[in-house]
Amino acid sequence: MADHQAVAVATHGGGSGHATVRIYVHVAIVLAIITALEVATLYVPGIPGPVLVISLLVMSAVKFFLVVGFFMHLKYDHPVMRALFVGPLIIAIAIILAVMALFSAFVLLPRVVL
């Protein structure tokens, strides 16, 4: 029994809490709703481009962090895990943006054509 408990403690890696099945189901429902909203936004007539893009990005970011925080348990986990994921995520996003700028995906950098 002590062993079992030790295993349970160990396997939760010092996490300070734990999401319950109820929370998981609630998160899943929220994810489904947001997905439906995302698709619906696409069909809003006359929606300006930037508004569409920004609202889609915001909604997908919320979904992203809900899955990472709850399903992947990062909200409750040791800060080391958070650092191991968030650091590279920031670098990856920064590089995506830099590459987009360098390839004139948005007109930010006037480019010399030789």
- Residues of the shown chain interacting with another protein in the complex, contacts defined by CB under 8 A: 3-4, 6-8, 10-11, 13-14, 19, 21, 24-25, 27-28, 31-32, 35, 38-39, 42, 49, 52-53, 56-57, 59-60, 63-64, 67-68, 71-72, 78, 80-81, 84-85, 87-89, 91-96, 99-103, 105, 108-114
Q: How many CB atoms lie within 10 A of CB 70?
A: 19
Identify whether the C-beta of residue 76 lies closer than 8 Å to the C-beta of residue 30: no
CA distances from 23 to 66, 85, 92 (A): 11, 23, 30
Q: Please state the closest distance from residue 93 (CB atom) to another protein, in A.
A: 7
Cβ closest to another protein, residue 17 vs residue 111: 111
**CB 45, min distance to another protein, A:** 14
Q: Which is nearer to another protein, 17 or 53 (CB)?
A: 53
Smallest Cα–Cα separation from 66: which of 37, 23, 95? 23
Six token digits for residue 6? 């030790």
Distance (Å) of CA 94 to CA 72, 82, 98, 99: 23, 18, 6, 9
Minimum CB separation from another protein for residue 17, in Å?
Answer: 14
For residue 98, the minimal CB distance to another protein (Å) is: 8
